[in-house]
Amino acid sequence: MKDLVKAEFRKIFGESPEGLYFAPGRVNLIGEHTDYNGGHVFPCALTIGIAGAARKRNDRKLRFYSLNFKELGVIESSLDDLTPREDARWTNYPKGVIWAFEGRGMKLPCGLDLLIGGNIPNGSGLSSSAALEVLTGYLLRDLYGFDLTNIDLALIGQYSENNFNGMNCGIMDQFASAMGKKDSAIFLDTATLEYEYAPIRLEGKKIVVTNSLVKHSLVGSAYNDRRNSCETALKELQTVTDIKTLGDLTEEEFEKYKYAIRDEDRMRKAKHAVYENRRTIRAEKALKDEDLPLFGKLMYESHASLRDDYEVSCPEIDVLVEAAGKVPGVLGSRITGGGFGGCTVSIVEDSAIDAFKEALTKDYQEKCGKTPEFYIVEIGNGPEKLNIG
């Protein structure tokens, strides 16, 4: 990917890039829709992601090109027009990061050319948008000499997606991409941003991501509706108990105070946020204790809650999880990411991987008329500057 983006940059823009960069996608092992509810998440960065080649310009132009959307050609903009536009397509993400930088007083003295290429499947729920935001922040820091930490880059990426792109996401995706560590998951308290790395020991087992090929589009969708439901439920609960976030509650406390939530659907959305947070805390301990059967059981419970209470699954994803549960050697499986399509994540014994692929492919073809894609993923580091060679 590095050699490709470097060569294509020369071809498209006529000069060599000043820098080559990479930012990873992520998969969340457990802890879904807890990151904007003050709860815990447990993601890890992947070795797949987005590579970018960039060069500063002598004017205020911004020029963007994606190897994944070649048909769109070069999309031009300007530092004087940092507004989201429908016809700007994918470039609204890097433009949003530049806008957020400038909002923090880090104004770019000149424009840039940026060419990207990625091997994260589009719409898969593996956070291509967060990877692009972190990549953009990382290369801006390097090219223009800004003084920022990687956590700053994650926060800027989240802020830009919330306020420039209109997607009211939590911090998990950007944090996982910015702070990834090889062979470790990140146990992150989203209320405080306190985190620790948990080594992943999967002797004889693999993390398998299965792509349903149902592309999710979260901006302007039911994702924001669910966040609004949780915020309203929190306000109702705050009339009867002293909490700052839904993540402050145990399951027992939620059951005690849930009468304050004056809508059944809203109550189920809040219940998921509370119970999922506690599942994530137990799952992290199970991993430390090397109790992978318990970890897998919690994954299945997480999916059931996301399907029934939070209602962010879809029939195709449910077929994949149900099929996984019937294969000997599969410890756990669940939807991963924001939902409404995308991927499942499963922990599968090495000896069962072929049977896992065969069973899921058969069920999925019969019930959904599609052939799923499988990725045996490796856990990688966060963003980096690549050797330009």
Query: What is the C-alpha to C-alpha distance for residues 321 and 303, in angstroms, rounded to an integer?
Result: 8
Does the pTM surpass 0.75? The reply is yes
User: Quick one: average pLDDT of 15-38?
Assistant: 96
Ramachandran assignment for 31, one of left (phi > 0), alpha (psi -120 to 50 degrees), beta (any other): left
Q: What is the pLDDT of residues 135-153, one digit of tens each?
A: 999 999 999 999 999 999 9
Of residues 125 and 349, the one with the higher pLDDT is 349
263 assigned to active site? no
User: Quick one: average pLDDT of 149-171?
Assistant: 95
- In three-state form (DSSP H/G/I as H, E/B as E, the rest C), the secondary structure along 97-132 is HHHHHHHCCCCCCCCEEEEEEECCCCCCCCCHHHHH
> Spelled out in words, what is the top-level CATH class assigned to the domain 2-199+380-386?
alpha beta
For residues 165 and 91, the answer to whether their CB atoms sit within 8 Å is no
**The pair of three-digit structure tokens given for residue 333, joined into one six-digit string:** 């499986």
Percent of the chain with pLDDT over 90: 89
Query: What is the C-alpha to C-alpha distance for residues 146 and 99, in angstroms, rounded to an integer?
Result: 14
Q: Which amino acid is at 36?
A: Y
Query: What is the C-alpha to C-alpha distance for residues 289 and 283, in angstroms, rounded to an integer?
Result: 10
Instruction: Single out the catalytic residue among 59, 81, 152, 173.
Output: 173
- For residue 219, what pLDDT is reported? 46
- For residue 215, what pLDDT is reported? 80
- Other CB atoms within 10 A of residue 304 CB: 14
Q: Helix, strand or coil for residue 238?
A: coil
- For residue 217, what pLDDT is reported? 61
The pLDDT-based confidence of 216 (bands split at 50, 70, 90) is: low
